[in-house]
Chain A
Amino acid sequence: MNLLKLSWKNLIADKWSTLLSLILFALGVGLISLILLINHQVEDKFEKNLAGIDLVVGAKGSPLQIILCSIFHIDFPTGNIPLKQANGLKRHPLVEKAIDLSLGDSHKGYRIVGTTPDYVDLYEGKIQTGDLWKNTFDVTLGATVAKNLELKIGDTFHGSHGYADGMEHDDMDPFKVTGILSPNGSVLDQLIFTNKESVWAVHDGHGTNPDSISIDDREITSMFLFFRNRMGNVQLPRMINENTDMQAASPAFEMARLYNMMGQGENLLRLLALIIMIVSALSIFISLYKSLRSRKYELALMRVSGATPGWLFLLIILEGLIIAILGYCIGMLLSHVGMQLLSGYLTEEYRYEFTGGLFLKEEGYMFLVALAIGFLAAIIPAIMAFRTNISETLSEG
């Protein structure tokens, strides 16, 4: 009958109080851990997908929307920009490189992006089988797209107009799969790539000769710009926004704004988690305090049998720590299983893969915090146990 076993038996003997404390503790820990997990993974994916893009140019509208749509493929385009104007920007001396994007179609929920192979290079994408797209109506699939739609080289399909299923361009030539990319955890996994001529061809409609439209009248959805130096970030956004019909959106600035907005909700959740943790500490304290009052004869008796005050102190502290450790473990289990379950939904909603199998070092720090909370909640009852006056207690009854 050692100390740990006795602490455990005492907790079990008061199972409803113990359960309440445990549930509260686990909820607090689970909530904090879940916030950390989502935050970490979202920011990680976001950072990865920013890929050093200095500026995104799109049609006039919300710059955040342009970023979300062009880089993350979450939101809808603000409109189109004339290719002629876009090409004009590419010739600016501060621009080192540019990537065009033509959006507007999808296949079974996966967006079709008309662009150049530079886009794949940007995210360090590698071809797994087949080749990158070359001709009009050739497509290369992201790894997740290929897996989930069970498409392979040589398969054909019709794109749908917009981003939902339904309006298929079935009067057009079908897309033909020529290559599949290796999974790499970036936005590439979720996209279908082709050249921008394919997107134009689909939208020109049946029977139109693509050559009949002058290149000067063509439009693209947006364009990524990479600058030679920081002067580009100073000069170009202003120039674009003031002198053209286009809108410049800085990924760094817009993401900072987005984090800031998300931060408000996140702070609220953190506050909630903090309150739950405090209530849980209070619950541990109250249940220990209460049980100590009814157990004071037991404590005095253990003293009679030879227990030192320090032993009783440890006994009560251990009860607090056991709840903290168990609560932490249950909380972590809840958050990681919860994250895994949530990842299906998040993947569908945001086109990013999330996992519950990730463990953060912050969660390690949380373990230390959990131990500290268990200790603090138990310290007053433990001091009371330490101070048990055998003679007085036993004389009372």
Chain B
Amino acid sequence: MIETKGLEHTYDGNNKIGFPDIRLEKGEKMLLLGLSGSGKTTLLHLLGGLMKPQKGNISIAGTDISGLGSSALDKFRGKHVGIIFQRPHFVSSLSVMENLLLTQKLAGNSTNSSEIKSILEKLNIAHKANSSTRNLSQGEQQRVAIARALVNKPDIILADEPTSALDDHNTNEVVDLLEQQAEAYNATLIIVTHDTRLKERFPKRIEL
């Protein structure tokens, strides 16, 4: 499902990082651990198609994304990859529902508000569908961010430090949700973190 080979990235012309090869099947889960500065965000951006690899290949669902043109990559990313960022950002002028409709639209999918509602229900946040994203608590924002990563039924879900700002209780809840939803969509889940609380929950780990 996702496979990388010989990925390398050079920062500012000299600081070179080589990444271990990754190979995950559909529905597999993995933790990507590393201290800050270890290049884990870079790897996440490479996996998500947010930047192009300088060296090496990434293939997702059979497509070599390092070979895609930039607008083809934009569309591919929208359709196949769901990303949850450390700090959730939304289109602030839009409500929760509108943000999710926009996400469907941008990926080139038809918009479907009843599907969005059912995702929000599963994430226990359906009552906030018409709220402005600015009026959500941090935990609620993180749930909406998860919903956004799910609306296009991605093949791969990437989560960048999804729990770093959360307490133990919320951390467990968010990780539970991520696991459940990834399973529900049969998506590959990669969580990038330095949060050691997650270590025991994921047998498959790569440390950078």
Tell which of B45, B77, B78, B111 touches A1, judged by Cβ atoms closer than 8 Å.
Answer: B111
| A15-44 interface (Cβ within 8 A of B) | none
| B63-86 interface (Cβ within 8 A of A) | 70-71, 74-75, 77-79, 83, 85
> A2–B102 Cα gap in the complex (Å)?
8
Asked if A397 and B105 make an inter-chain contact with CB atoms under 8 angstroms apart, the answer reads: no
In the complex, B185 has a CB within 8 A of chain A: no
In the complex, B14 has a CB within 8 A of chain A: no
| A276-307 interface (Cβ within 8 A of B) | 295, 297-298, 300-307
Asked if A306 and B83 make an inter-chain contact with CB atoms under 8 angstroms apart, the answer reads: no
Cβ distance A312 to chain B, nearest Cβ, rounded Å = 10
Asked if B94 and A304 make an inter-chain contact with CB atoms under 8 angstroms apart, the answer reads: no
Cβ distance A19 to chain B, nearest Cβ, rounded Å = 15
Residues of B within 8 A of A301 (CB): 89-91
Asked if B93 and A395 make an inter-chain contact with CB atoms under 8 angstroms apart, the answer reads: no
Tell which of B74, B91, B148 touches A308, judged by Cβ atoms closer than 8 Å.
Answer: B74
Cβ distance B119 to chain A, nearest Cβ, rounded Å = 15
Q: Which of A5-13, A52-60, A198-206, A334-342 contacts B (4 or more CB under 8 A)?
A: A5-13
Asked if B74 and A306 make an inter-chain contact with CB atoms under 8 angstroms apart, the answer reads: yes
Task: Map CB proximity to A onto B144-162 as digits: 1 under 8 Å, 0 otherwise.
Answer: 0000100010000000000
Given A1-B102, A395-B41, A397-B87, A307 and B93 touching (CB < 8 A)?
A: no
Tell which of B70, B83, B87, B105 touches A304, judged by Cβ atoms closer than 8 Å.
Answer: B83
In the complex, B18 has a CB within 8 A of chain A: no
Asked if B89 and A306 make an inter-chain contact with CB atoms under 8 angstroms apart, the answer reads: no
Closest to B107 in A: A306
> A311–B74 Cα gap in the complex (Å)?
11
Instruction: How many A-B residue pairs have C-beta atoms within 8 angstroms? Tell me.
Output: 76
Tell which of A1, A13, A306 touches B75, judged by Cβ atoms closer than 8 Å.
Answer: A306
Cβ distance A375 to chain B, nearest Cβ, rounded Å = 22
What band does the interface of chain A fall in when counting residues whose beta carbon is under 8 Å from B?
20 to 34
| A308-364 interface (Cβ within 8 A of B) | 308-311
Asked if B92 and A13 make an inter-chain contact with CB atoms under 8 angstroms apart, the answer reads: yes
Cβ distance B105 to chain A, nearest Cβ, rounded Å = 5
Asked if B105 and A1 make an inter-chain contact with CB atoms under 8 angstroms apart, the answer reads: yes
In the complex, B50 has a CB within 8 A of chain A: yes
Asked if A1 and B87 make an inter-chain contact with CB atoms under 8 angstroms apart, the answer reads: no
Closest to A306 in B: B78
Asked if B45 and A305 make an inter-chain contact with CB atoms under 8 angstroms apart, the answer reads: no
Cβ distance B19 to chain A, nearest Cβ, rounded Å = 15
Closest to A397 in B: B87
Given A2-B105, A304-B48, A298 and B89 touching (CB < 8 A)?
A: yes
Residues of B within 8 A of A305 (CB): 77-78, 102-103, 106-107, 148, 152
Cβ distance B95 to chain A, nearest Cβ, rounded Å = 9
> A323–B4 Cα gap in the complex (Å)?
47
> A6–B111 Cα gap in the complex (Å)?
15
> A390–B70 Cα gap in the complex (Å)?
12
Residues of B within 8 A of A2 (CB): 105
Cβ distance A316 to chain B, nearest Cβ, rounded Å = 13
| B154-203 interface (Cβ within 8 A of A) | none
In the complex, A391 has a CB within 8 A of chain B: yes
Asked if A306 and B45 make an inter-chain contact with CB atoms under 8 angstroms apart, the answer reads: no
Asked if A9 and B93 make an inter-chain contact with CB atoms under 8 angstroms apart, the answer reads: yes
Tell which of A10, A303, A306, A397 touches B108, judged by Cβ atoms closer than 8 Å.
Answer: A306
In the complex, A394 has a CB within 8 A of chain B: yes
Closest to A389 in B: B51
Cβ distance B126 to chain A, nearest Cβ, rounded Å = 19
Asked if A1 and B98 make an inter-chain contact with CB atoms under 8 angstroms apart, the answer reads: yes
Closest to B77 in A: A306
| B83-129 interface (Cβ within 8 A of A) | 83, 85, 87, 89-94, 98, 101-103, 105-108, 111
Asked if A6 and B83 make an inter-chain contact with CB atoms under 8 angstroms apart, the answer reads: no
Residues of B within 8 A of A10 (CB): 93
> A394–B63 Cα gap in the complex (Å)?
24
Asked if B102 and A391 make an inter-chain contact with CB atoms under 8 angstroms apart, the answer reads: no
Closest to B97 in A: A1
Asked if B107 and A394 make an inter-chain contact with CB atoms under 8 angstroms apart, the answer reads: no
Question: Which residues in A have some Cβ–Cβ distance to B below 8 Å?
Answer: 1-2, 6, 9-10, 12-13, 295, 297-298, 300-311, 390-391, 394-395, 397
Question: Which residues in B have some Cβ–Cβ distance to A below 8 Å?
Answer: 41, 45, 48, 50-51, 70-71, 74-75, 77-79, 83, 85, 87, 89-94, 98, 101-103, 105-108, 111, 148, 152
**14 residue pairs from A and B, CB less than 8 Å apart:** A6-B93, A9-B94, A298-B90, A298-B92, A302-B102, A304-B78, A305-B103, A305-B106, A305-B107, A305-B148, A306-B77, A306-B107, A308-B70, A309-B70
Shortest 8 CB-CB contacts between residues of A and residues of B = A306-B78, A13-B93, A297-B89, A391-B51, A306-B106, A305-B106, A9-B93, A306-B107
